[in-house]
Structures are given as C-alpha cells and as structure tokens.
Amino acid sequence: MLQEHFAAPARIVITVSDTHFGDFKHNLGMVPGPVWNAPDVLARTGAFPAPGSTAGGRTAYSTSKLAAIYLVHEYARRLPAGVDAIAYNPGFVPGTGLARNAGPLSRFAMRRVLPVLALTPFATGRGAAGRYLADVVLGTTAAPTGSYVDRAEVARSSRESYDPRRERELWDAVERFTVAHAA
C-alpha cells in the first residue's frame, strides 16, 4: 500500500536480531531459536507454547526477527530500483528496555550489570548501535538491497532466513492483514 509513495533514492532499514540464528554463538543461549509456522498461525495469540512464559515470549521475538528478514528479502525483489531494503542487526544492546517486562532481577541485571558487556565483542553499547544504524540509513555502510548488516558489516544471515517460498507466503499474508486493517 505504501509502495507508490517510495521514490528513489531511498533506503528502508528494518531492525532485526541475530537471535534468528537460534544458536549459542549468536545469543549465548538466552533466547530460543525461531519456530516458523504459517503466517496465519503466527499472527494468532498463543502461537507459541507457553505464551505467557519468558521462553514463549523470547521464541516469538526470535521468530519475528526471522520474519523481518524474510520481508526485507521480499521487499528487495519487489521495490523499484533505487529503493533499497536492508536488515540491520545492532547485536545485543544492554541498557535498553529489552527486559522491561522481565522480573526484577533480570531488569536490574539488564540496566546495571550487563552494560559492562558493551566493552566486549559480546554486546554493543547504545551509542555505537545508534551510530551503526545511522551509517546504514545514510548509506555510509555500503549494503546492497536485501542485505543483512550485523553492526557495521554486511554479513550472511542464518541459513533458514533464505527461503523464497516463506518470503512470498509472508508477503502475501502481510498484504491480507494490512488490507483488512486499513479498511
């Protein structure tokens, strides 16, 4: 519905997460990997086991980030030349509101303890994440349409994130959902 409003040159940047990899290397075991299903199923409340649990919420999170990458790939195929779609992963950014609905201990750790990780390769500080994002948006980080940018580098997203059938299926579902809500 918005496609006719895009004019080249333009860049659409969608924030994703390396949690979509679903492995220890990318999330230190803190977030379960994505559990893909048909978009009509994923759009329903309770699409994941134990929906009120932390694990259920985190599974929904990683799955939504995989879906965002699918949409970036489909945007890259469908948008006119000069209108680029990029997936940007800031990495783990402690000190944000990511744990705002967690228990008191997790919230304390996220605000007061884990920001120290930004001094290591395991996390990104809020300022650095913002600079990386600005570089992607402004084109300072050279990234062709459909790219996955991990912090400041173009990289490959997970093997699972390259599935043209799922990408088309998700695109069609999003169009149906959008038209239904726009009416």
6/85 Cα distance (integer angstroms): 11
Neighbours of 105 (CB within 10 A): 10
96/42 Cα distance (integer angstroms): 26
Mean pLDDT check: name the lowest of 25-39, 54-68, 79-93, 109-123: 109-123
Q: What is the pTM of this model?
A: 0.89
pLDDT score recorded for residue 49: 85
Q: Which candidate, 95, 25, 101, places its Cα nearest to that of 61?
A: 101
Q: Which two tokens stand for residue 20?
A: 């979509």
Q: Assign 112 a pLDDT band (cuts: 50, 70, 90).
A: low
Provide mean pLDDT across the span 154-179.
96
Mean pLDDT of the chain: 88
78/3 Cα distance (integer angstroms): 9
pLDDT score recorded for residue 144: 97
Provide mean pLDDT across the span 92-120.
71
pLDDT score recorded for residue 118: 67
Q: DSSP code of 14?
A: E
Q: Assign 116 a pLDDT band (cuts: 50, 70, 90).
A: low
Q: Which two tokens stand for residue 126?
A: 């809020």
3-state helix, strand, coil in the chain (%, to 5): 50, 10, 40
111/109 Cα distance (integer angstroms): 6
